[in-house]
Chain A
Amino acid sequence: MVDLGAILKTLPTIGSQVETLREIILSNVVMIAEIGAATFQERQRAAFLTERFTELQLANCSTDECHNAFGILQGSEGARNILVVAHLDTIFSGERDLTVTVRRGAVQGLGLADNSLGVAIIASLPLILERLQLSFRSNIILMGSARSLGSGNIEGIRFFLDNSSFKVHQALCVEGVELGRLSVGSIGMLRATLTLTKPEILDWSRFDVTSVIVDMNNIINRIQEMPLPRRPRTTVVLNAIHAEASFSNVPISAQLLYEIRSESDAMVEQVATDIRYISDEVASRSEARVNLQTIARRRPGGMSFSHPMVGAARAILSALEEEPHIQPSTSELSACIDRAIPALTIGISHCNNLNTADEQLEIKPIAKGVAQLIALLQAIDQRLCDEAE
């Protein structure tokens, strides 16, 4: 039986060995980032990942009907299964210029941090473990999950957890950034679209009839004026607004995308209800129709700070001289939490100008990020992250 101290001692060696495999990881980052994978269009990226797993002779290399990609590194005992997952999709459409540039200290391009690097780590991990001559008792299920972001509503991982014959005992969710982040819990979240529409037959020659943009503006002002509690912490994020069309046309439709986040599920519901009332009231005064649609929903929850898995993750980050930053997540972690699977989200590197054409992903910290992942896998495999019965 290995203790955590012994694992921590190997971190510098693992880090420097991973450093020698830098091109393997970067090559995967580049090739994955240049495959378009907007949410619901991850098929090609999933095929690439499965191809990588097949080349490395993993077991059960496959994709499923959601276009999730899988491969299993079989453990010597195989009694337990550790899921390592990175979401495949990106917020950028495949029609954008996805060309990646490799500079001396950074890689530049769209969607590298969220989440080409995470997927590249999943793709590279079998080879890295092989070169480091590391083996595990547990099976490691490597997964690229589809339909994660936005209206995807983490459907990919939910489908897998609901339908797989493998029982997942613990899970690690891998995000490109930020190294040092530790997400141990999910906050309550509701994503919705609010659409206002006015009938085309409305008599626009009446000068008291306003554009639907004005009505939407009224709704936004009212949302901004809503009193939100500081405890439980609650916020409404306005993500995007769309409306018609050009100078010569009066818009008859406008859409607002927003997200309610709270530590309390009841507060998420309360704020959602309040927004519905506000919308109905504004719409009724302006002869508009309102349509509210929930796109994604997460329940709050997660592991306690005292869980051994959190303790191990913090100790590993400290040994790597990285300050652990505890932050909530709304990603794959939520699906694990909903099913009472102990899980963490970790980051691999740092980046500047996230989600812009000038996004620059730092190369040097990647080795440290991968060392962190490997050490965590070892700790989980050695049952150092299990809660006492």
Chain B
Amino acid sequence: MKLNSWIAAHTFHHTQFADLPALVEAKRKQRLRISVCIPTLNEEQTIGKVIVILRAELMKRYPLIDELVVIDSGSQDKTLEIARAFGANTYLADDILPTLEPRRGKGENLWKAIYQLTGDIIVYIDADIKNIHPRFVYGLVGPLISDSNIKYVKAFYDRPLAVSQGVTRPTGGGRVTEILIRPLFSLFYPELTAIIQPLSGEYAARREVLEALPFPIGYGVETSHLIDIYTRWSMSSFAQTDLDQRVHRNQSTLSLGRMSFGILRTFLRRAKNLGLCTFHKELEHVLRQFQSINDTYQLQEHTIIEEERPAMNELTEYQQRARQEDQEGQEG
């Protein structure tokens, strides 16, 4: 598939799906159920607004969302109290599938959402969006409702306030994307470079896809999704939607370094498993960073282990529940 033709056919703008009555009607006809998962860890500043806006606009005004759930990694602030006060269902990640050894990381919450949530489509929305708007959801589910061949929709943010006609400009994929991910994709998976913001935390996918994917529990979850879906279902299963602008907390260069290390480990593991490269020794788990204090340089070692959860549909508990639901469906 040519990159330019893929971009032309699979790239949308949220305004294409802003006719909410029509979108709700199309969803109703397909008997789809849509769940939104918000993974959290100490997000009391922003969670209230996210819940209020999504519930008011996309549940009470227009019934696009059927289920809005917060899955929390153990917040020490009032994240859960505020989310509950405004009507969200909240869960601690550790309380879902409690027989499993608990893991810490955003990927863990996203993976457990597949078990806990009931939707045919699951939308993941980060809780730290300062300018939350209903477009963050309808822009992502729109392509899935409109085209049954699309399985996974990624957000990107690209709407400068003004640009001269004909002037070219970078797409602004973010520092880790432009310095790490796009060069790696260019080397190993050139078609995936057409995904403008591969690391954006907002995406929507069909359950049949999500339940078949292994989930790294840390930084590598978004990258692994793209590689796994690409190798299994090809580029035609992806779409991406421009959601204009996203205002969020900026991360320090050091924390982006830790993120890059985690992503790189996930990426290289997949490249090795697919036979794209070989290593003559085990990869290190420790990232070494330096900070200067007065005239000395202090070594900081960060152990970053990118553990993975298996595909949800391989889990006995999930299979049993699916069988039970089938039985209930037949009896009902």
Residues of A within 8 A of B (CB): 21, 23-24, 26-28, 30-31, 34, 55, 99-104, 127
Contact = CB atoms under 8 A, between A and B. Distances in A.
A104 B49 CA distance: 10
A23 B48 CA distance: 10
Contacts of B61: 24, 55, 127
A101 B49 contact: yes
B42 to A, nearest CB: 14
A104 B53 contact: no
B81 A21 contact: no
A101 B60 contact: no
Given A24-B61, A103-B48, A104-B48, A31 B53 contact: yes
B45 interface: yes
A21 B52 contact: no
B85 interface: yes
Contacts of B86: 23, 102
Interface string B32-76: 000000000000111011011101110011000000000000000
Nearest to B21: A55
B56 A102 contact: no
Nearest to A109: B49
Contacts of A103: 44, 48, 82
B82 A104 contact: yes
A102 B46 CA distance: 7
Contacts of A100: 49
B78 interface: yes
Closest 4 interchain pairs by CB? A102-B48, A27-B56, A23-B56, A102-B49
B130 interface: yes
B245 interface: no
B276 interface: no
B130 A27 contact: no
Given A27-B56, A28-B56, A102-B49, 12 more contacts: A21-B60, A23-B56, A23-B60, A24-B61, A27-B55, A30-B53, A100-B49, A102-B52, A102-B82, A104-B48, A104-B78, A104-B85
A101 B56 contact: no
A214 to B, nearest CB: 44
Interface in B298-316: none
B100 interface: no
Contacts of A23: 52, 55-56, 60, 86-87
21 contacts: A23-B52, A23-B56, A23-B86, A23-B87, A26-B52, A27-B52, A27-B56, A28-B56, A30-B49, A30-B52, A30-B53, A31-B133, A100-B49, A101-B45, A101-B46, A102-B49, A103-B82, A104-B48, A104-B78, A104-B81, A104-B85
A27 B62 CA distance: 13
B248 to A, nearest CB: 11
B64 to A, nearest CB: 14
Nearest to B62: A55
Contacts of A28: 56
Contacts of A99: 130-131, 247
A26 B51 CA distance: 11
A111 to B, nearest CB: 16
B17 to A, nearest CB: 15
Nearest to B78: A104
Contacts of B46: 101
Nearest to A56: B61
Contacts of A27: 52-53, 55-57
A154 B320 CA distance: 67
Contacts of B56: 23-24, 26-28
Nearest to A131: B60
Contacts of A55: 61
Most A C-beta atoms less than 10 A away, residue of B48, B57, B82, B131: B48
Most B C-beta atoms less than 10 A away, residue of A21, A27, A31, A100: A27
Most B C-beta atoms less than 10 A away, residue of A21, A23, A24, A100: A23
Contacts of A102: 48-49, 51-52, 82, 86
Nearest to B247: A99
Most A C-beta atoms less than 10 A away, residue of B51, B56, B57, B81: B56
A24 B60 contact: yes
Interface string B153-193: 00000000000000000000000000000000000000000
A16 to B, nearest CB: 16
Nearest to A100: B49
Contacts of B55: 23, 27
B253 to A, nearest CB: 24
Contacts of A30: 49, 52-53
A30 B133 CA distance: 10
A26 B56 CA distance: 8
A225 B230 CA distance: 80
Contacts of A34: 131
A340 B130 CA distance: 45
B59 to A, nearest CB: 8
A30 B61 CA distance: 16
A333 to B, nearest CB: 30
A100 B78 CA distance: 17
Contacts of B48: 101-104
Nearest to B86: A23
A100 B45 CA distance: 9
Contacts of B131: 34, 99
A34 B129 CA distance: 14
Nearest to A127: B61
A96 to B, nearest CB: 14
Contacts of A101: 45-46, 48-49
Interface string B70-112: 0000000010011001110000000000000000000000000
A116 to B, nearest CB: 14
Contacts of A31: 53, 133
A103 B45 CA distance: 8
Contacts of A26: 52, 56
A24 B56 CA distance: 5
B89 to A, nearest CB: 15
A102 B81 CA distance: 12
